[in-house]
Amino acid sequence: MSLSLKQIRYFIAAAESGQMSQAAVELSVSQSAVTSAIQQLEAGLGIKLFHRNPVGVSLTPEGNRFLQHARHIMAAVNEAMRVPRTADSAVSGKVKVGVTYTVAGYFLPPYHARFVRNFPNVVVDLYEASRTVIEDGLLEGALDIGVILVSNLEHKGRLTAETLFRSRRRLWLPADHRLLQNQTVTLADVAEEPYVMLTVDEASETSGRYWTSTQHRPNVIFRTASIEAVRSMVAAGMGVSILSDMVYRPWSLEGQRIETRALEGDIPTMDVGLAWRASTPLPPPAQALRDFFVLAFQNGSHGFPA
Q: Which of 74, 99, 119 is the last residue of a domain?
A: 74
Same domain, residue pair 52 and 177: no
Last residue of a domain, one of 17, 42, 74: 74
Q: What is the CATH number of the domain that holds 20?
A: 1.10.10.10
pLDDT at 82: 60
Shared domain for 189 and 210, answered yes or no, is yes
Residue 175 lies in a domain: yes
Tell me, yes or no, whether 303 lies in a domain: no
- What does each of the 306 residues of the chain score in pLDDT, given as a tens digit? 578 888 998 998 888 888 888 888 888 888 899 999 999 999 888 899 988 877 788 888 888 888 888 887 887 777 666 654 544 457 899 999 999 999 999 999 988 998 998 899 999 999 999 999 999 999 999 999 999 999 889 998 899 999 998 888 999 999 999 998 887 899 999 999 999 999 998 899 999 889 998 999 999 999 999 999 999 999 999 999 999 988 988 888 898 989 888 898 889 999 999 999 998 899 999 999 999 998 888 744 333 322
Query: Are 12 and 149 in the same domain?
Result: no
- In 10 A of CB 210, how many CB atoms? 16
Residue 305, in any domain of the structure = no
Residue 206 domain-assigned (yes or no): yes
- Residue 194 sits at the vertex; the CA angle it makes with 192 and 195, to the nearest 5 degrees, is 110
In DSSP terms, 51 is beta-bridged to: 58
Answer whether residue 82 is part of any domain: no
Residues 98 and 131 sit within 8 Å (Cβ to Cβ): no
CB 63 within 8 A of CB 49: yes
The number of distinct structural domains making up the chain is 3
Task: Tell me the Ramachandran region of residue 63: left when phi exceeds 0, alpha when psi lies from -120 to 50, beta otherwise.
Answer: alpha
The CATH number covering residue 94 comes to 3.40.190.10
pTM of the model: 0.75
Domain membership of residue 40 as a residue range:
5-74
**Distance (Å, rounded) from C-alpha 301 to C-alpha 306?**
15
